[in-house]
Amino acid sequence: MALIEEQLTAIVLAGGESTRMGQDKALLNLAGETFLSHVCLVARECAAQTYVVSPWIEKYQKFLPRGCQPVQEQLVLNTSSNTPLIGFAQGLELVKTEWVLLLACDLPHLSSPQVKQWLLALTTVFPAEIACLPRSTKGWEPLCGFYRRGCLTSLKQYISEGGRSFQPWLAEHSVRELWVSDRNCLFNCNTPQDWSAIN
């Protein structure tokens, strides 16, 4: 494993309720593996440690590849359900490496060679930049990119003030754009139409 991969921890978020899909996205099966297991395998190949954060660890346990550590997501007080940002913060509490690879569990086209290529970009990130993320016309792509462990202090403060989404928090900080040659790898499978298009 290359040196930069030894300095990387992966966090896979599997806390969504899949309301638009109508069934659990994490357990959709494509080419013989679930979305969750696919993303976990990509993460495991690119990082020294992989955490899987979810409120439903018992349901997902058997789908986690060896070496992927489940983290029980805790519901934040006065909320009916957590957001990906809160799940990320809870996973980040466990991280010891400087960099974190954050991935949603519904990235069926993501591959480990792509992510390993992206790792090279981390050597160009300035110390004041808290993350290195792809960008779209709608803003940052927060659930497929890299964050510094040191952003946890700011993140916890933002959440304590009622913040629940990535974009406003990221807008408060310097972020390096991660150039992605094949944007198909960022495809999120959110709806039955998305699923039928790739299945």
Residues 6+ apart with CB under 8 A from 73: 15, 53, 54, 55, 82, 86, 87, 90
Report residue 47: phi and psi, to 5°.
-140, 160
Residue with tokens 């993501």: 110
User: Domain map of the chain by residue range?
Assistant: 3-194
What is the reported pTM? Answer: 0.91
Fold of 3-194: Spore Coat Polysaccharide Biosynthesis Protein SpsA; Chain A (3.90.550)
Kindly give the confidence (pLDDT) of every residue in the chain, 199 residues in length, as a single tens digit, with 9 standing for 90 and above: 454 667 899 999 987 655 555 557 787 777 778 889 999 999 999 999 999 999 888 888 888 889 899 999 887 755 556 689 999 999 999 999 999 999 999 898 899 999 999 999 999 999 999 999 999 888 899 999 999 999 999 999 999 998 889 999 999 999 999 999 887 777 776 666 666 566 6
